[in-house]
Amino acid sequence: MDKRKPANQRRQSLFFRPFTIIFFALFLLAGCAEVPLTQRKSLHLVPEGQVLSLSFQQYREVLKKSKLSTDRQKVEMVRRVGRRIARAAEAFLEDEGLGYEIDSYHWEFNLIENDKAVNAWCMPGGKIAVYTGILKYTKDETGLAVVLGHEVGHAIAHHGNERMSQALLANMGGMALSVALSKRPYETRQLFMAAFGLGANIGFLLPYSRVQEAEADWIGVMLMARAGYDPRAALSFWNRMRKSAGKRPPEFLSTHPAPETRIENLKEYIKEAMSYYQMQ
């Protein structure tokens, strides 16, 4: 029996093991990006153009399957607050030298009639949905500005791309989005919807990390202050949400975990945001 073959295989294995590690490290390095406004390094494996294309497609599908609110007063409130937050976001990006990103946003605001869904989300490209169930917690326009500022904060920080990249890496070996859509379309679309907190009931949701939450909280209070809303309202809103959380927290808390430190962190962010609010 030729005993050299197993030895050769072992040598090849020893050779390819470090090669594989190096290749994987280079693969991750190539996908590294910088989070706008905070300069944190993050993983972006999905080209932004593909994210936007799928985002707009999925948004249209969600709206087709949903019942849009016919309450003109509430719909107009959502759109009025949304427009103010959107203008603040564009001004923020411009001030930070990121004005070139503004063309990627095609803002749209819709109110979905579902009193059981305590949820809201903003997809890449500025596609936003608010569910009527969250309005009992926002209470008024300023409370709604807390939610929309926070969600737009996730969007302009590209947290969705980061979470989608992590999901592709964990579940599909870092497969390209176009390949994943071709080979495993249903699972890939489910990952996409979960990564962006899309819809009220999609089977599972991917929670934001504490780092992403902190970034969205900070950006969110900056945006609402720049839009002329009192950022101190963020404390009241998150306290109401925290008190509402029981055995089955609302969708909004499923994707936005609220640790005890959040309130303390917000107090610090608000001190910075007040300077913008007082200038309005």
62-79 per-position pLDDT tens digit: 999 999 999 999 999 999
Split into its structural domains, the chain has a count of 1
For 163-191, letters b (16+ CB in 10 Å) and e give: bbbbbbbeebebbebeebbeeeeeebbbb
Give me the domain span that covers residue 263.
46-278
Q: Is 43 helix (H, G, I), strand (E, B) or coil?
A: strand
- % of the chain exceeding 70 in pLDDT: 69
Residues annotated as part of the active site: 151
Task: Locate 6 and state its tokens.
Answer: 């197993």
Residue 242 lies in a domain: yes
Please give the residue that has the higher pLDDT: either 20 or 156: 156
Residue 6 lies in a domain: no
Residue 5 lies in a domain: no
Confidence of residue 9 (pLDDT cuts 50, 70, 90): very low
Confidence of residue 34 (pLDDT cuts 50, 70, 90): confident
Measure the CA–CA gap between 39 and 81, rounded to whole angstroms: 28
Q: Is the pLDDT of residue 103 over 90?
A: yes
User: Residue 176's pLDDT is what?
Assistant: 59
Residue 246 lies in a domain: yes
The per-residue pLDDT of the chain, averaged, comes to 80
Confidence of residue 142 (pLDDT cuts 50, 70, 90): very high
Residue 34 lies in a domain: no
User: Residue 280's pLDDT is what?
Assistant: 80
- The predicted-structure confidence for 187-245, as pLDDT tens digits, reads as follows 766 666 666 665 444 334 456 678 888 899 999 999 999 999 999 999 999 988 888 76
Task: Locate 9 and state its tokens.
Answer: 């295989």
Which of these ranges, 20-34, 36-50, 85-99, has the smallest mean pLDDT?
Answer: 20-34
Please give the residue that has the higher pLDDT: either 33 or 141: 141
Confidence of residue 16 (pLDDT cuts 50, 70, 90): very low
Alpha helices in the chain (DSSP H): 4-30, 48-65, 72-95, 135-138, 141-156, 159-172, 177-183, 185-195, 210-226, 233-244, 251-254, 261-278
Residue 19 lies in a domain: no
The reported pTM is: 0.78
Confidence of residue 11 (pLDDT cuts 50, 70, 90): very low
Residue 76 lies in a domain: yes
Residue 174 lies in a domain: yes
